[in-house]
């Protein structure tokens, strides 16, 4: 039986990925801030489940707890970092910017560090990070969120390059979802909003194919290319 850990499994994409992994025979470690939701999810899964309450914004504790979860489960085949936060913050209130940076930048990097070093130690593994289409442009209403997702994608690319350069048997996958029906999907004029279950199913297929990068759902691949080609004066109006 393969072992997988999903960080940020209390809701949304992370929760749905935990369900899919269990359905495909993985023993699953589920981690997140809300212990009651982790307990509820445990009752839905069909394979062995390990629970660890982790707030990734509290860095030393989060790293220690993830290492403890790995030790409890044994060698891990797959670690998915789906935990994240974000706020629409047109008034640029620092408390919201800081919260986003603490979770999406510092917390993400800490979890990726533990995961990558575990895989390096055992000689194999697959790290998946959930970034966003928002990584492709700055946003005046949520500058920290979009910038944090650019950090996630860039960090994952760095780990990919490290794995290749050092000839490590570590696969790193950057997932960039568009709008998904989760707690983070806020704002007016949202389009192409996918159910979390549909997004998770597509992500699982990407994981199975060991791809390094994917837009979710697939239609966002076209949107990504358009965003990259837009002149700056148009991007400034987004």
Paired strand residues for 5: 29, 79
* Backbone CA torsion sign across 131, 137, 138, 140: negative
Q: Are 100 and 144 in contact (CB under 8 A)?
A: yes
User: Please, which contacts does 63-68 make with residues 24 or more away whose CB atoms are closer than 8 Å?
Assistant: 63/110, 63/111, 63/113, 63/114, 65/31, 66/5, 66/7, 66/31, 66/111, 66/114, 66/115, 67/114, 67/118
* Closest C-alpha to 10, from 183, 174, 143: 183
Contacts of residue 76, Cβ cutoff 8 Å, sequence gap at least 6: 3, 4, 5, 29, 70, 115, 118, 119, 122, 125
Rounded to the nearest 10 degrees, the angle between the axes of helix 94-101 and helix 143-165 is: 20
* Catalytic pick among 145, 155, 204, 215: 145
Is 145 catalytic? The answer is: yes
Separation between Cα atoms, residue 147 and residue 139, nearest integer Å: 8
Separation between Cα atoms, residue 179 and residue 198, nearest integer Å: 12
Query: Both tokens of residue 181?
Result: 């029906």
Catalytic site positions: 145
């Amino acid at each position: 039986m393969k072992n997988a850990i999903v960080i940020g499994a209390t809701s949304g994409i992370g929760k749905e990925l935990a369900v899919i992994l269990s359905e495909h025979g993985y023993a699953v470690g589920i981690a997140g801030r809300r212990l009651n939701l982790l307990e509820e999810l445990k009752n839905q899964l069909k394979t062995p489940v390990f629970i660890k309450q982790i707030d990734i914004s509290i860095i030393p504790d989060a790293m220690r707890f993830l290492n403890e979860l790995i030790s409890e489960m044994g060698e891990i085949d797959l670690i998915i970092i789906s935990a994240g936060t974000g706020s629409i913050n047109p008034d640029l209130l620092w408390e919201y910017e800081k919260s986003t940076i603490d979770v999406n930048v510092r917390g993400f990097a800490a979890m990726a560090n533990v995961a990558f070093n575990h895989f390096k130690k055992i000689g194999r593994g697959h790290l998946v990070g959930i970034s966003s289409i928002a990584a492709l442009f700055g946003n005046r209403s949520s500058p920290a969120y979009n910038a944090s997702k650019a950090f996630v994608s860039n960090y994952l690319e760095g780990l990919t390059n490290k794995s290749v350069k050092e000839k490590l048997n570590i696969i790193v996958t950057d997932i960039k979802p568009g709008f998904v029906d989760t707690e983070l999907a806020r704002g007016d004029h949202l389009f192409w909003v996918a159910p979390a279950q549909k997004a998770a199913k597509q992500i699982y297929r990407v994981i199975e194919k060991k791809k390094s990068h994917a837009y979710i759902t697939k239609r966002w691949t076209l949107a990504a290319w358009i965003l990259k080609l837009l002149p700056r004066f148009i991007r400034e109006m987004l």
